[in-house]
Chains A and B, each alone.
Chain A
Amino acid sequence: MYLVLVPLAQLIWRTVTWGEGDRRLSPAAVEGEVTGFHWMEAFSGPSSNAMLFEPLANSLFTGLFAAVFALLLGGVLAWVVTRTDMPGTSWLRPLLIVPYVVPSFAIALAWETLFKSPRIGGLPGLYETVLGFGPPEWLSYGPTPIIITMTIHYFPFAFLLICGALASLDSQLEESAELLGASRWTILRKITFPIVAPAFAAAAILTFGKTIGTFALPFLLGQPVQYATLATRLFSTLNQGLDALGYILALVLIAITALAVYASSRVLGGNLNRFETIGGKGFKGQLTRLRNWRWPIFGATAAVALAVAVFPLLLLGYQTLMLVDGFYGFDNLTLHYWIGESDPELAEGEPGLVRNDVILGATWITLKLAFISAAICSVVGLIIGYIVVRDRGGWIAKLLDQISFAPFLFPAIAFAAMYLSLFAEARGPIPALYGTFTLLVLISVVNRLPYGVRTGTAAVAQIGRELEEAAEIQGASWMRRFRQIVLPLATSGLVAGMLVSFVGVMRELSLIILLITPSTRVLMTVGFRYAEEDQVQLGNALILLVTVLTLAGQYLVWRLGKGRLARLRERSG
């Protein structure tokens, strides 16, 4: 409660009062006094177009299109992978998830590498090198690449949600329609789609919430041509010290997501919670036969998977080996950016990855942050999940469930703005946490809490109530039951949940970029700085490092999940 509502209130308060540095905005400013100046300025001031309305329009435009494309692509792929007899699904499925697992701006960097155009500055991209002429500008920077890269990054998210819904769909429903002579298209339209529609709608809202709050992609691909979205404008206004204005932008972002969620719950008549829990039961029924289309569809799917998952990483990897960016030849290959000593001629004297103190320090902080946040998050999630499950219907359970879901509603960067406004200076008993590691842990935990609670709830729900009651009758105290019954039985689920959080925190940028100071740099922000400064090779090497770490984590999660399924089967069998 405190961690969500209070920051929000503080955020609003800061937009209606004069701040410290506001003297330069207006001579009438008296610090701490209430004023409507900021809102007036934002909505009707001379620069409100550039500050608010244009970014707003851009955000809606790119966010909506990216969400729609991500849904279409994810939906089609989900259907093909789960409901048809297409070959190769076992390795295509994990491959298709890779773009979501890697840091979002890895894709932006790969895009830049491919389509960089010298007109903006810097050296030519691969496109120009191969074809001999530059790409059209709309393809290099601006809304088009933003939409495309966001689609690539977020379609696996929709893919996963829809896969879950499709997998639990009983194919007998489809078969009975087929027996009645319905055509395949009719079946898809009349049976399959209505059943998965709720999951689809939930996926739409959640995807939109993500696209609209994304920071790194529109920043890297929009900034060079002064194309701003709410998220990037928020970042730059805060950087310029125009705090109140930045907070207004954050509120606008929050309002948009809240509206979308509200609209969808009106349409669907329920809350998103319900749909999100659709877990793949692994029901395998009769699969749709593709006949002649089997191999062409496989080819297309595999091509998509390779293009979005493997190719960008290869591109980035290759680039880190180029001594001078932009020249594709064997004599230009080097390992300098990985293992080289500091050389004033290259990369402004930054040593290679494994010798770079900044990077190594950031790696350490990143791992520490991810581990601590993930551990706290899963334990808190387990306790909340325990209360939610055991006290089903009780008001505490409902309240906790709703509140822990709340961070879903806040786009990551707006969430960070809330925390920035609250913790920038000491207030009462709360010290000024800005710039501390603690604040990073705090915001990471709160942000991941919806997932933590979800995992905790699932883990507790899977432990029958009677298992605990059997111990209660024998006189075991609550602590003893929790320690000896609940915790051991929830462990495997918890560890998996922890790893998911671990990976999530590690590749998070939008959430923490506003809260980072030099002493608390993490890999993602260091990588972002390199990317900003056009230190392409080092930036890419760093991204690859994060990617490898996250993929390894993801692989562990997957292995654990398989092991757990096997054990559960053994237990119930």
Chain B
Amino acid sequence: MEATIEIRDLTKRFGKVVALDRLSLTVEPGEFLVLLGPSGCGKTTLLRSLAGLETPDEGEISIGGDVVFSAPRGISVPPGDRRVGMVFQSYALWPHMKVKDNIGFGLRVQKLPRQEVEARVTTVLDDLAMGGLGERYPSQLSGGQQQRVALARLLATRPPVFLMDEPLSNLDARLRMDMRSELKRLHHDTGATTVYVTHDQSEAMTMASVVVVMNEGRIQQMAPPGQIYRQPANVFVAGFIGMPRINLLAARTLGDGRARFEVGDFTLPAPGAPPNAKVFVGARPEDVMLSLEPADDAVEFQVYAVLPAGPETIVHIRRGEVTLVARETRQLELKMDQSVWVGFDPAAINIYDGASGELLPPEGGSRREAASRMADGGRTG
């Protein structure tokens, strides 16, 4: 039941719009891969190309070792023969068919005997806790139930590859949370290679075994969720992932061997950064350390706004033109306009090339090690 998906140099144009731009990607068997990116970046197009609903202009796709699409060789296997199942954003349930006929449709197309079809439909309905709803029409179901029918329809034919296009985006917030864990469970039980599209980063982070961040038809980064968050590969990913947004400061590293960078009128330590270069410094809000007293290497900022949010507090601070966002889990009594002293966790910050926006590899790996230590929970305040 497991299949590898290989995509090579896939390009798809709609008139002048390049929806996919020489995109290459390998999905390992049994992986839960999430395609994440802003709206219009080509996620749906990629998924539909995998399913065979869209014909790319260039490139190759193979699923489970079989070439299903190849522009140079002129191969394009029709959707029905690709052994993929798909859940559409709109669910695409057939309104004129009962739930059980919706679910059994694919099995009847495969000409399974009638008892077999009915048995499988019943099993799938029971598995999804919908026994007894088989005789209803889709319009008589709630949004959550319709979502499950769409899933059931995919499960009934037991394809080795699941494709899902924003399957949860039409549910309300609470139901969405519940469905996340159910989908995860489902993936675990079936072991199907899954490609899951979403523009919701928290959905991506919670569900994925590997995340692919896309922009303008290209892959920006492919990595496990933790790494996407801790080490965004470029400023686009850094800015796209994380809520509140990462602090990205345009800075210049000093050439005096002190490994510091300069922003506006102050400097901060920057271990491992190349000297004398234009860079962007990326620091997540939780890596901005606030203290109420002056300290070594700390810079004085003024509190601009305090936004309590339950277990944490988001603090906006300012110095001249520079605004930073900090996330505080301690209970600090902060007042508007009071002074705070700010330092960055040197192990956690990422430094990007000022011109290309790419992550600069840390020299000697010191930052990376520090980062993984950080991820294990060792955090100094």
Which residues of chain A have a CB within 8 Å of any CB of chain B?
A: 464, 466-467, 469-476, 480, 484-485, 488-489, 570-571, 573
Q: What are the 8 tightest A-B residue pairs by CB atom distance, in nearest-first order?
A: A475-B80, A474-B106, A466-B92, A470-B92, A466-B88, A473-B79, A488-B96, A571-B139
CA separation between A573 and B137, bound complex, in Å? 13
Assess A464 versus B92: contact at CB under 8 Å? Given A472-B53, A472-B80: yes
> Would you call B51 and A473 a contact (CB within 8 A)?
yes
What is the chain B residue whose CB lies nearest that of A470?
B92
A485 touching B94 in the complex, CB below 8 Å, given contacts A470-B153, A476-B80, A571-B139: yes
Kindly report which residue of chain A lies nearest to residue B81, judged by CB atoms. Answer: A475
B95 at the interface (CB under 8 A from A): yes
Q: Is the CB of A474 within 8 A of B105?
A: yes
Contacts of B82 in A (CB 8 A): 473
- Bound together, the chains give a CA A357 to CA B19 distance in angstroms of 68
**Residue B90 CB within 8 A of the other chain:** yes
Is A467 a contact of B79 with CB atoms below 8 Å? no
Q: Which residues of B contact A571 (CB under 8 A)?
A: 95, 139
> Would A476 and B109 count as touching, CB distance under 8 A?
yes
Residue of A nearest to B102 (CB): A470
Are A480 and B90 also in contact (CB < 8 A) when A469-B53, A475-B80 are? no
In the bound complex, what is the Cα–Cα distance between A466 and B93 (angstroms)?
9
- Is B110 part of the contact surface with A, judged by Cβ < 8 Å? yes
Cβ-defined contact, A474 with B90, below 8 A = no
Distance from A333 Cβ to chain B, minimum over Cβ atoms (Å) = 54
Q: How far apart are A322's CB and chain B's nearest CB, in angstroms?
A: 54
Closest-by-CB residue of B relative to A572 is: B139
Are A480's CB and B109's CB within 8 A?
yes
B299 within 8 A of partner (CB) = no
User: CA A485 – CA B52 in complex, angstroms?
Assistant: 19
**B92–A570 contact, CB under 8 A?**
no
Asked whether B35 is an interface residue with its Cβ less than 8 Å from the other chain, the reply is no
Of residues 220 to 271 in B, which have CB atoms within 8 Å of A's CB atoms?
A: none
B79 adjacent to A472 (CB under 8 Å) = yes
User: In the complex, which residues of chain B have a beta carbon less than 8 angstroms from the beta carbon of A570?
Assistant: 139
Chain A residues, Cβ within 8 Å of B93: 470
Bin chain B's interface residue count. Answer: 20 to 34
Q: How far is the CA of A467 from the CA of B86 in the complex (A)?
A: 12
Q: Which of B147-185 contact A (CB under 8 A)?
A: 153, 157
Least CB distance from A150 to B in Å reads 44
Are A489's CB and B95's CB within 8 A?
A: yes
Produce 1/0 per residue, B24-65, CB < 8 A to A: 000000000000000000000000000111000000000000
In the complex, whether B349 has a CB less than 8 A from a CB of chain A is no
A464 touches B90 (CB 8 A): yes
The CA-CA distance from A489 to B139 in the complex, in Å, is: 14
Name the A residues within 8 Å of B139 (CB-CB).
570-571, 573
| Contact A466/B90 with A475-B106, A480-B109, A489-B96 known, Cβ cut-off 8 Å | yes
Distance, CA A484 to CA B102, complexed state (A): 11
Interface membership of B85, Cβ < 8 A: yes
Closest Cβ of chain B to A488, distance in Å, is 5
Of B80, B94, B95, the contact of A473 (CB 8 Å cutoff): B80
Closest to A393 in B: B15
In chain B between 62 and 119, which residues have their CB closer than 8 angstroms to a CB of chain A? 78-82, 84-86, 88-90, 92-96, 105-106, 109-110
Q: How far is the CB of B91 from chain A (nearest CB, A)?
A: 8
Query: A477: shortest Cβ distance to chain B, in Å?
Result: 8
- Shortest Cβ distance from A476 into chain B, in angstroms? 5
* CA distance in complex: A474, B157 (Å): 8
Closest A residue by C-beta to B78:
A472
Decide if A473 touches B109 in the complex (CB within 8 Å). Answer: no
A29 → chain B closest CB, angstroms: 57
Q: In whole angstroms, how far apart are the Cα atoms of A470 and B81 in the complex?
A: 13
Cα A486 to Cα B153 with chains together (Å) = 19
| Closest B residue by C-beta to A487 | B96
- Give A492 Cβ to nearest chain B Cβ, in Å: 10
B95 touches A475 (CB 8 A): no
- Closest residue of A by beta carbon distance from B89: A466
Alpha-carbon separation in the docked complex, A570 to B96 (Å):
12
Measured between beta carbons, the chain A residues less than 8 angstroms from B92 are 464, 466-467, 469-470
**Inter-chain contact A473/B105, CB cutoff 8 Å:** no
Report how far A573 CA is from B106 CA in the complex, Å.
Answer: 27
A469-B79, A470-B88 provided; 7 other pairs, C-beta below 8 A?
A469-B86, A470-B86, A471-B105, A472-B79, A473-B85, A474-B109, A489-B95
Residues of the B chain whose Cβ atoms lie less than 8 Å from the Cβ of A476: 80, 105, 109
Interface residues of B in 113-132 (CB under 8 A from A): none
Rounded to whole angstroms, the CA-CA distance of A467 and B105 in the bound complex is 12
